């Protein structure tokens, strides 16, 4: 093999090593230090105020668990007939939730039980709720750091 070939192989190895290092750094990337971890937020258009709370405050990674979402209008009136869908994922990893959480019960006073939540990795998770009720459709994204 000539010198050119050897240089080519060496450069190729460097490129692969750098790509692997960058990939690994993205994988273990810490959540942003200024991440808003509030569990009570206005929806994007301001139609609703939503609060979320885990049913088991000691939930851990990989544990299937539920959340209670409390939905109120911007004026603070409990929303009783909301249709809520759940989405989310890890923005730094480019993947969604490992399960398909569902609202399984309306508990009254604007509270809804979401079952089937599982976070299978450490890091920054987005937990997104789409709320459809009399005031209209709106979205809210919560950040969780596991």
Q: Which residues bind Cu ion (CB under 5 A)?
A: 90, 93, 121
Helix (H, G, I), strand (E, B) or coil at 102: strand
- Whether 52 and 142 have beta carbons less than 8 Å apart is answered as yes
Q: For residues 68 and 121, which CB has a smaller minimum distance to Cu ion in the complex?
A: 121
As beta bridge partners, residue 136 has 133
Give the residue ranges of DSSP H helices in the chain: 3-27
Q: For residues 31 and 110, which CB has a smaller minimum distance to Cu ion in the complex?
A: 31
**Residue 17: C-alpha distances to residues 10, 20, 29, 38 (Å):** 11, 5, 18, 39
Please give the structure tokens belonging to residue 42.
């206005």
Minimum Å gap between C-beta 128 and Cu ion is 15
- Whether 43 and 50 have beta carbons less than 8 Å apart is answered as yes
Q: For residues 88 and 110, which CB has a smaller minimum distance to Cu ion in the complex?
A: 88
Q: For residues 72 and 93, which CB has a smaller minimum distance to Cu ion in the complex?
A: 93
Q: For residues 23 and 108, which CB has a smaller minimum distance to Cu ion in the complex?
A: 23
Question: Which residue do the tokens 């049913």 mark?
Answer: 55
As beta bridge partners, residue 78 has 72
């Amino acid at each position: 093999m000539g010198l050119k070939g050897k240089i080519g192989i060496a450069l190729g190895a460097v490129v692969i090593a750098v790509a692997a290092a960058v990939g690994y750094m993205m994988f273990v990337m810490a959540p942003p230090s200024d991440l808003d971890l509030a569990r009570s937020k206005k929806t994007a258009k301001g139609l609703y105020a939503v609060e979320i709370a885990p049913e088991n405050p000691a939930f851990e990674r990989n544990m299937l668990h539920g959340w209670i979402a409390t939905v109120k209008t911007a004026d603070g009136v409990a929303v009783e007939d909301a249709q809520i869908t759940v989405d989310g994922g890890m923005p730094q990893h480019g993947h969604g939730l490992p399960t398909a959480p569902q609202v399984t019960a309306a508990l009254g006073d604007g509270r809804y039980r979401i079952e089937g939540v599982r976070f299978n990795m450490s890091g920054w998770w987005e937990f997104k709720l789409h709320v459809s009720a009399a005031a209209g459709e709106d979205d809210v994204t919560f950040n969780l750091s596991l």
